[in-house]
Structure 1
Amino acid sequence: MINIKKISAEDTYAIRLEVLRENIPLPYKFNGDFDENTFHLGAFSNNKLIAVSSFMSMSKTEFKGLQYQLRGMATLQSFHGKGAGKLMVKKAVELLKANSIDVLWCNAREVAVPFYLKQGFTVVGELFDIEFVGPHYVMKKELK
C-alpha cells in the first residue's frame, strides 16, 4: 500500500537528484521550495519514500485564476507503474481545490505526457526544449 504525506523540501532532494538530475548539470533545489505557499508530497511504501512532488504558487499569463505549478515529480525507478504519481496528483488536487485554486499546471517531459493525460491534464501549446533535459509540453488541469 502506498501512503501520501506532506514532506519537507529537503526530503525531496535525494529522489530529485537521482531521478531528475542524474548526469544533468541543473539544480535539484528549486527556487520556491521554501515559499510560504509551497507544499511537497511524498509517496511512501512500507515507510520508504519512493516518490516526491512539489507544488508552488506560480502563474502563467495564458491561464486564468489562481494557479499552482507541479514541479519535480519523480518516482524511484523500481516503483514506476505502482500508482505513486497518480496518488500524489490526487492528493494535491484535493488540497488545491480546498484552497480555491483554479488551475494546476506543469512542464511535462514528453515521455510523461501519457501519464498526465490519464490524470486529466491537457496539453497546452507546442513542444519546447529544456536544455540538458529534453522535450517538454506545458500541461494543465482545470480544478473548477
Structure 2
Amino acid sequence: MEASAQKITVATTVNAPVAKVWEQFNAPEHITQWCAASEDWHAPFAENDLRPGGKFTTTMAAKDGSFSFDFGGIYSNIVAEKAIAYDMADGRSVQITFEDHGGNTTVIEVFDAEQSNPVEMQRDGWQAILDNFKKHVENN
C-alpha cells in the first residue's frame, strides 16, 4: 500500500474496565458475537493468535448465506490492554488503542482506507462494528 493512504478513524467509549474490554475484543468466543456491521450479518468463525507475528481470521457472513468473506491480518505490535497494530492481507495497516479512563475504556481504531469504496462507507462500516462491540461488552 502506498504511504500516502488516507487514514480513517473510528472510536467508541465502552462503559467497562479496560481488562474486560481487552478480553472481549480479542477472545474468539466474543468476536463471533459482536463482529458484524448490521443485524443481517454475523461472524460464524473467529481465530486469534494475539502476539507479534500472530495471525487472526474472522469470517463475516450474510445471515441469509448469500455472501461471506474472511477478514484477517498479521499482528505487528501488541501492548496488553493498551495497543494493537496489524497489517491486513492487502498491505493496509490498522492501529487500535485502548484508553483506560478508570471504569470506562475508549477504543480508537485508525486504519488505511482502501480504494474500492467511498471513505464514508468504510468509516460507517467500521464504526457500526465498533458500536456492536460496545453493546456486546456492556450487556455481558
TM tier, smaller: 0.3 to 0.5
What TM-score, normalized by structure 2, do the two folds share?
0.32
Q: Which has the higher contact order (CA 8 A, sep 6+)?
A: 2
